[in-house]
Amino acid sequence: MATINATVTIGSDITGQSVSISKTMQMTKAGTTLGLENTSGLSAKTVQTTTAFKLFGNADASTLKASKVYIRNTGSSSTDFFYIGFGEDLAAATIETIGKLYGNDWMLIPWDAVAATTHDIYAKASTAEVMTLEFMAFIE
């Protein structure tokens, strides 16, 4: 088993006071203290199209486990973004679109890889300009 640590720090002065969140987790297998062992590896994909593309397929991991995915838009634009969500037709009402990653935005979420295409994770650029996404799955 491996030891994988992930730390988030969020600082904000929205309330007029400086409020900071800091939390470290060790990525473990479901219901145990044993570390995750498998990964997709760190990947990057550059696109120049608004056609959606798959980041992770449900067959890459297992359902009812403790897998996690990390995704980051490596650009710096405040107007161009990637939709991230479950299913290919992102931004459509019938698809579970999670959110938008603008330049430098990142996300780290748990992933229940239910054995269905509804749990494939896709990305879709908002523009046909050159954009790059960095992504990695920590798999059980």
Our finding on whether 91 is near another protein (CB under 8 A) is yes
Contacts of residue 47, Cβ cutoff 8 Å, sequence gap at least 6: 53, 125, 130, 131, 132, 133
Interatomic CA distance for residues 44 and 59, integer angstroms: 20
- 53 vs 100, which CB is nearer to another protein? 100
Q: Which of 49, 22, 45 is nearest to 121 (CA)?
A: 45
Interatomic CA distance for residues 7 and 98, integer angstroms: 22
Our finding on whether 130 is near another protein (CB under 8 A) is no
Residues 57-76 that bind another protein (CB under 8 A): 64-68, 70, 72
Residues 1-40 that bind another protein (CB under 8 A): 2-15, 19, 21, 23, 25-28, 30-33, 36-37, 39
Q: What is the DSSP letter of 50?
A: S
Our finding on whether 89 is near another protein (CB under 8 A) is no
Q: Min. distance of Cβ 120 from another protein in angstroms?
A: 12
Q: Min. distance of Cβ 128 from another protein in angstroms?
A: 17
| Inter-residue contact 28 to 36 (CB < 8 Å) | yes
- 37 vs 49, which CB is nearer to another protein? 37
The length of the chain in residues reads 140
Interatomic CA distance for residues 14 and 26, integer angstroms: 29
Tally Cβ neighbours within 10 Å of residue 52: 20
Our finding on whether 114 is near another protein (CB under 8 A) is yes
Contact residues: another protein, CB under 8 A: 2-15, 19, 21, 23, 25-28, 30-33, 36-37, 39, 41-42, 64-68, 70, 72, 78-79, 83-84, 86, 91, 93, 96-112, 114, 118-119, 136, 138
